[in-house]
Amino acid sequence: MARVSSNRGIGRKGWLYTLGAGVVSLAYFFPVFYIISTAFKTRVDALAMPIRFIFTPTLDNFYSVFVRASTEGGAGTETGFGLYFFNSVFIGGSSVFIALIIGTAAAYGFSRFPLRGNDTYLFIILTTRMLPPIIAIIPIFVLFRVFSLSGSYTGIIALYTAFNLPFSIWMVKSFFDDLDRDIEDAARMDGSSEWSVFWKICLPQIMAGLAATFVFAVILTWNEFLFALMLTGTQTRTVPVALARTIGGQVGVDWGLMSAIETLFIIPVVIVTFLLQGQLLRGVTFGTIRK
């Protein structure tokens, strides 16, 4: 139970832990590993049982994510996945960007100029995020039809902006709350305007936090399925929806292809997980738990 005290150094006991943790982590990671390795397998290797760990890697699956070979021969046809990847990035990126601007302003307000009933506002804001998305989708679906927004970028970006706003506000507020107020007060005493206190003192200090918030929100949006399923059209479809539709399409599911799509989708996420390990706890709890 007690941790190895660091002054004793990490000897053989440390490496024993590495071995144990290694076995556990690899077992835990196996499903993800399976997806990534299947992406590099030929159709025969992908379906072979028992699982083949040694195989000749191929990039065919990644190629056919974007271009599907025609069965009659001749030139392959576009699968549209280039567009879906673009949509995922574009819709996710722009909605998070807008949400972060509005959210940072609000977070600064909530943190530095508390209103009467500040906590109530924050609670309502968090609730809009915690509510089952299925409730929100019913009226939004109908309203989108009324304003003919379904299948448009404007509609889904507006929706995702609102979807990301509570997260951005809570996260960014947690970073503002952590700052040392003395520096700001000292600047105010020296005659700095509120405007420059915000731009020159507060904001530069939370830049890393803003970056982390941006990345988390992009991943959440990137992974969102239900709203995208209901509200995107053929031109604005995102990758999770396209992935789920691919499975329903043909007779035999091409798992190599599916894995290649997913691999392209998760590699950025795995890299981000590694880079943001220190902020992960805050990220997954909407900034409510910091340490």
Partner 1 sequence: MSRDHCSVASNGFLMTVTASTARPTAEARSRSGPIAWLMSPDRRGPLLIAPAIATLLIVNIFPLMWSFGLSFFEYKANRITPPVFKGLANYADLFTDPEIWARFQNTAIIVVGSVALQLVVGFFLALLFAQEFPLRRYLLMLVLSPMMLSLSAVGVFFKLFYDPTLGFISRIISMFTQDTFVILSTPTRAIIAIVVADAWMWSPFVMLLVLAGLVSVPKYLYEAAEIDRAGPWRRFRTITFPYIKSLLLLALLFRTIETFKIFDIVYLLTEGGPGSSTETASVYVYRLAFQFFRTSQASALGYVMLFAVIVLTSLYLYGIQSRKEVEI
Identified binder of partner 1 from the candidate list 73, 135, 234, 249, rule CB under 8 A: 135
Least CB distance to partner 1 at residue 18 (A): 5
Closer residue to partner 1 in complex, CB, 83/231: 231
Q: Which residues, numbered 247-276, are part of the site for partner 1 (CB under 8 A)? A: 247, 253, 255, 258, 262, 265-266, 269-270, 272-274
Tell me the site size for partner 1, rule CB under 8 A.
104
> CB of 122 within 8 A of CB of 110?
yes
- What are φ and ψ of residue 261, in 5° steps? -60, -50
SS3 of residue 251 by DSSP? coil
CA–CA distance, 163 with 189 (Å, rounded to integer): 39
Q: Which residues, numbered 155-174, are part of the site for partner 1 (CB under 8 A)? A: 158-159, 161-162, 165-166, 169
Closer residue to partner 1 in complex, CB, 28/86: 28
Binding mask 61-80 for partner 1 (x = CB under 8 A): --------------------
Identified binder of partner 1 from the candidate list 59, 130, 207, 208, rule CB under 8 A: 130
Closer residue to partner 1 in complex, CB, 53/74: 53
Q: Which residue has the tokens 């530069």?
A: 204
117 sits near partner 1 (criterion: CB under 8 A): no
What is the DSSP secondary structure assignment for residue 74, as one 8-state letter? S
201 CB-contact burial (10 Å; exposed 0-12 / middle 13-18 / buried 19+)? middle
Q: Which residues, numbered 181-240, are part of the site for partner 1 (CB under 8 A)? A: 191-197, 219, 222-226, 230, 240
- 26 C-beta neighbours (distance < 10 Å), count: 10
CA–CA distance, 164 with 245 (Å, rounded to integer): 25
Q: Which residues, numbered 90-109, are part of the site for partner 1 (CB under 8 A)? A: 102-103, 105-106, 108-109
Identified binder of partner 1 from the candidate list 73, 74, 75, 134, rule CB under 8 A: 134
Closer residue to partner 1 in complex, CB, 57/117: 117
Length of the chain: 291
Identified binder of partner 1 from the candidate list 39, 65, 100, 140, rule CB under 8 A: 140
> CB of 133 within 8 A of CB of 127?
no
Least CB distance to partner 1 at residue 77 (A): 23
CA–CA distance, 155 with 145 (Å, rounded to integer): 10
> CB of 41 within 8 A of CB of 256?
yes
Q: Which stretch binds partner 1 (CB under 8 A): 11-19, 53-61, 74-82, 178-186?
A: 11-19
Binding mask 34-53 for partner 1 (x = CB under 8 A): xx-----------x-xxx--
Closer residue to partner 1 in complex, CB, 47/69: 47
Least CB distance to partner 1 at residue 208 (A): 18
284 sits near partner 1 (criterion: CB under 8 A): yes
CA–CA distance, 174 with 93 (Å, rounded to integer): 22
- 253 C-beta neighbours (distance < 10 Å), count: 12
> CB of 98 within 8 A of CB of 168?
no
Q: What is the DSSP string of 192-235?
A: --HHHIIIIIIHHHTHHHHHHHHHHHHHHHHH--HHHHHH--TT
Closer residue to partner 1 in complex, CB, 136/203: 136
